[in-house]
C-alpha cells in the first residue's frame, strides 16, 4: 500500500492536539540551538532559497546547511552565524535573558 505524503503544517496541527507533544515542543522551543535552527529555516524560506542555493552563497555544502538547520545541532560558531547574517543583510544579536 502506498503511503500518503502529509504536509508538515497539517501534521503539526494534528500533533499539537496531543498534550505530550505540545509540552515537548514547548520545551524544545526554549532551547537556544532549536531557536537558531528555526530562525535559519525561516530566513532561508522567506528568501525563497533552497539549502543548496544558500550553501552556494556561503561557499559551503548543502549538507552543512542541513546540519545547521538540524534541531539536534548545537555547534554554531559566531563566524558562521555572522556569515549567514551577512547573506541575509541582517545583524547577529546575542542576548542574555
Determine the pLDDT at residue 23. 80
74-90 pLDDT, tens per residue? Answer: 999 999 999 999 999 99
Would the pLDDT of 95 be above 90? no
Q: Does domain 8-87 have CATH number 3.30.420.130?
A: no
> b/e map of 65-78 (b: 16 or more CB within 10 Å)?
beebbeeeeeeeee
pLDDT in tens, 25-45: 777 778 889 889 989 999 999
- For the segment 41-70, the average pLDDT, to the nearest whole number, is 96
Question: What is the distance between the terminal CA atoms of the chain, rounded to a whole angstrom?
Answer: 50
Give the pLDDT confidence score for residue 3 in this predicted structure.
66
The ranges assigned to domains in the chain are 8-87
- As a whole number of angstroms, the distance between CA 97 and CA 95 comes to 6
Among candidates 3, 27, 6, which has minimal Cα distance to 15? Answer: 6
Q: Report d(CA 89, CA 97) in Å as an integer.
A: 25
Q: Judge if pTM exceeds 0.75.
A: no
Amino acid at each position: 500500500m502506498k503511503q500518503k505524503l502529509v504536509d508538515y503544517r497539517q501534521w503539526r496541527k494534528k500533533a499539537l492536539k496531543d498534550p505530550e507533544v505540545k509540552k515537548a515542543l514547548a520545551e524544545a522551543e526554549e532551547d537556544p540551538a532549536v531557536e537558531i535552527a528555526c530562525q535559519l529555516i525561516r530566513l532561508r524560506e522567506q528568501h525563497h532559497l533552497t539549502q543548496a542555493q544558500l550553501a552556494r552563497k556561503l561557499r559551503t555544502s548543502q549538507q552543512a546547511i542541513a546540519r545547521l538547520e538540524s534541531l539536534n545541532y548545537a555547534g554554531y560558531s559566531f563566524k558562521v552565524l555572522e556569515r549567514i547574517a551577512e547573506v541575509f543583510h541582517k545583524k547577529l544579536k546575542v542576548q542574555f535573558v
